Amino acid sequence: MVCLTISPKVALVDEKISITVSNLRPLQRVTVQVWVEEGKAVFSSCGHFLADQQGQADIDQHASLGGTYRGVDSMGLFWSLKSVPGISKDPCLRKVDVTTPLVFRLCVIDDHILWNNLQLPTTVVLVTDTLQRWYKHSSVRRIEVREGSIRGTLFLPMGEGQFPGVLDMFGSVGGLIEFRSALLASRGFASFGLAYLRYDDLPSSVADIDFDYFLCVVEWLAFHPSVQPGGIAVIGTSKGGELAFLLGMSTNLVKALVNIGGAPVYGLDDLKRCGQPFWKGFKMNESKLIYTDEGVYLKDAACYDSEIIPAWTNNAKILYLCGEDDGVWRTDFANALIEACPEEKRKNIELIIYPGTGHLFEPPYMPVSRAIFHKMLGSTLVMGGQPEAHAAAQVDAWKRLLHFLHTHLPKEQHSSSRL
C-alpha cells in the first residue's frame, strides 16, 4: 500500500513541511497535489515526481519535473498554489479566522497529470492525507479591543510577563486583518492588529481618517501592561507603511519601523490630524493608468514629486521592503527616502528591493496574489510578483523582519512555545 508521510502535520505557516511518498514501484511516475479552501478561495498545486529505485519520492530531495513548479523545493507545493478556475471565487488566499487552521488536503495520483486535468474522474488516487497550518499558536491569547475609539485585536504570547510590542497595519482595502499579528505573537511579540478603515464604526473613506487615532493607538500599546517598556515597533503594508513612516516622524515611542510595499510619500487623499490639515497626499494622473486583462496598473500614474516623509526624525530604526515588480507604484522611488535622509541618519535605514516581487508580501510559503479587487477604488489592481521570485522574497523578508524586531526592541521576558 502506498504510504504518504507528512511531518509535522500541525505547524505554523512559516515552518517547513517534509513530505515523503513510499511503497511505490521503482521509477513510478506520480503527481502530488495540494488542495486548500478558505472562504471563497479554492487553491491547488501539484508536482510531478519520479520514484527512486527504492520506490520513494521525497519532496525535500527529489525534483518536481512539472506541475505548478519545477526543481527541488521542499515548499514548492505551497508557494506555487494557484486559484482554481471556475471554482474559486477569490483570487487571494488569506486567513480571516486565525482561531482555525488552513487545512491542506494532499493526494498522490498515479502518473504525471497536468494541473488543469487534476479534477478529471479518470485520475487514479493512490493515497490522501491532510495537514494543518496555523497563524496562531495554540498558546497565544486573542483579545478583541474596543477601548474608546480604538478597534483591533491584541495577540499575546504564553506567559504573564511583558513582551516586545508591535503595532501591525495593512492598507486601504480596510477591515481588520489579523493573520500577521497572530503569527508575530506566535513568535514572541505582543502584537496588535489595528483596524482603521471600513470596520465597525471607523471611517469608510481614507479621506476621513484622522492621524490622531494612530498616535493614540501607539501610546495605548506602548504603555500596555503586557508590553515591554521602552518603545514599540510599527509594521505597515501599503497604506499602512506610509502611516508607519508618519508615526516615525511624529512620536519617539516608535523605536522600529517596517514599511512593506508602502511609498515614502503619502498617497491620494490629504491626511488630517485633530480635524485639521496635517499631511498632503499626492494625486493620481488617471491618463497614465494602464488597463490590462489582469487588472489596472497604477505605478505610472502615481505622482513622484511629493514630499518625502521624514520617518527618521525620532531616530527609529527602519526596515523598508519593496518588490521590483510592484504594479501599484515604482519602487525604485524608495531610494528617494535614502537621498532625502540626513547623511548621519542613513545608517538607521535598511532598504531591500526584491527582483520579481510584487506589492503584497505575505508570510513565507504562501502564494503570490498578483491581482486583487480593491473595493474602495472599485477596480481590480495588479499587485505584481513572479511566483518563484516572490516566494523567495517572502522567506527572506520574514527572516529579516523577525531579526530586525528582536534586534531593535526591548527583550521579552518570556518566549512562546511551539506547536
Positions marked catalytic: 238, 326, 359
Which distant-in-sequence residues (6+ apart) come within 8 Å of 345 by Cβ? 312, 315
Q: How many CB atoms lie within 10 A of CB 59?
A: 22
Q: Omega into 8 within 30° of 0, i.e. cis?
A: yes
Helix (H) or strand (E) segment spanning residue 242: helix 239-250
Tell me the CA distances in angstroms from 147 to 45, 78, 194, 246, one per residue in order: 43, 38, 12, 23
Grid cell of 3 as nine digits? 504510504
Do residues 73 and 63 make contact, with C-beta atoms less than 8 angstroms apart?
A: no
Contact assessment for residue 158 and residue 419, using Cβ atoms and an 8 Å cutoff: no
Cell numbers that stand for 203 in this block: 471611517
Are the C-beta atoms of residues 184 and 191 closer than 8 Å to each other?
yes
32 touches 107 (CB < 8 A): yes
- Written as one string, the DSSP assignment of 71-118 is BS-TTHHHHT-EE-TTT-S-S----S-TTS-EEEEEEEEES---GGGT
Distances (CA, A) of 255 to 24, 221, 395: 55, 13, 24
Instruction: For residue 71, give Cα distances in angstroms to 65, 146, 184, 364.
Output: 7, 48, 31, 18
User: Which residues are within 8 A (CB) of 15 and not within 5 positions of it... i.e. 6 or more apart?
Assistant: 8, 133
Q: What angle in degrees, to the nearest 10, is found between the helix axes of 211-222 and 239-250? A: 70
Instruction: Report yes or no: 334 and 302 within 8 Å, Cβ to Cβ.
Output: no
